[in-house]
Structure 1
Amino acid sequence: MAAQTQDGTVGKALALLDEVAAYGRPVRFAELLSDSDLPKATLYRLLQTLVSQRMLSLDPDTGFYTMGSRLIRLAHAAWQTATLAPVARPHLDQLSSQLQQTVHLAQLDHGQVLYIDKRNAARPIAMFSDAGKIGPAYCTGVGKAILAFVPADVLDAALKQQSWFRHTEHTHTSAESLRADLKDIRATGISFDREEHEPQIICVAVPILDDLGRPLGAISVTSSTLRHSLDDLAGFAPALKETAEAIARDASAYTIPGASPSGITGA
């Protein structure tokens, strides 16, 4: 974990919260210390403060740190007031019931994909994406669906924030390769994940566009190559587009505090 000196103690504390959350499980002090650039005394002091503020919880018997009750309440409030999730929820429910497939709702955050809601298929498939997780924008269907419709300057900034890590043999590993894909997505309004992030995991996605054609987010149907082909998934595109339009209509009367019209923050 890199020390966040530019924002002082607050920045360091928030970076520490990110680090604890990234483990995806309870974590002990020794593990945090081994991954941290912070001095031992500073790390311990920040942890004590976060625990006292109920942003983290410490089990005195096991020594494990987990997310605190206050942080959970704040996260729930953010989900309710600062994302598309509440507006989209009934539409996702209807789409999930209609298709019986895995459905994702995502927005762009600092050039990456933030999954903000999910409906599992009638027969769930194990995959990376869950609500609350951050994924790479350059190799996910929802990420590409959003990037294809952001303004040029926002796209340039977002591309600089990609890692270009080759997750599979199908992953885009350069901005040039991705830009060609985004051009096709703009022409069709449909984005595909062709096993670009996870082997055997494929999806079809469409952007959720406001009245000016700016992306508020994206929705997708995700499956496995063991169950569907890309042509199969393309058949879900009309239902996805209809749902995206319905979400956009409802979102027009709903203000998302702090959300950029481009669908990307911190770029």
Structure 2
Amino acid sequence: MQFQERELTPGASPRHLYGAEIRRQRKLVNMSLVALADILGYSRVHVSRFETAERAIPPELPPKLDIAFGTNGTFVAMYELIKNEVFPDFARRFMELESKATRMRKYMSATVPGLLQTPGYALALLREFQPGAKKEKIQEDLNARLSRQGILVRDEPPHLLVVLDEAVLRRPVGGPAVMAEQLEHLLAVEESSNVLLQIVPFGLGSHALMGGSLTLLTQGDGTQVAYLEGSHTGQLLEDVTTVAGYDLAYDRVRAKALTQEASSATIHAALKEYE
């Protein structure tokens, strides 16, 4: 039975438009789905689902499309418009600001921030947060989360200050092997000139940000926003007075955190326990 291509709806969303452009370019060069699939290294079904927007575009696909069609970076540029569609609406504005920030300050009470997560650690969290989700959905979300880490390796990366509650080190997300890999990654990352990690030890007791997670983003023009994040929710705050309050709370917590050297020693100690 002959394969019947489905009708496209490019006006439905940027992701649908992206898929429609794949098909348009494919038709322009008179290329079949099978031929394009062979070039891209995917199955015909996968490529068809990219065109119909049933599957998210993985980060490695856009440059392959530009090579296949000779489109000189068109698909790479368009990918910037769709890469965050997998995330909920409340997070997209934050991620837009995050991608342009010159300085980031984060406090995390329970997990490693997404920008510093290893694939194994991120996968373990996604499986817990989305019980019953299909493997394809989990993989799409994993690709989207890891793609955000490109912010830290761009030509002019932001300065990143991360304060972690000691609980982040002690909770074995994904098991000992996954945690050992994650902590090794944190130790490697802190050697970067633009990243600073500090730990808030259990012995500190209570503090102003206990039980939540906070990100403060500073833009190139000096404006600042705050983002409060839970396991399934997020709130972006842009009011100057409100943000200033969280700015002060962050500084108070960071002032009580361990020094960079003591924090590194604490991470090393936790790593030995997992090894």
Which of structures 1 and 2 has the bigger CA Rg?
2
Flag the structure with higher strand content.
1
Q: Between Structure 1 and Structure 2, which shows a larger proportion of helix residues? A: 2
TM-score by length of 1: 0.30
TM-score scaled by structure 2? Answer: 0.30
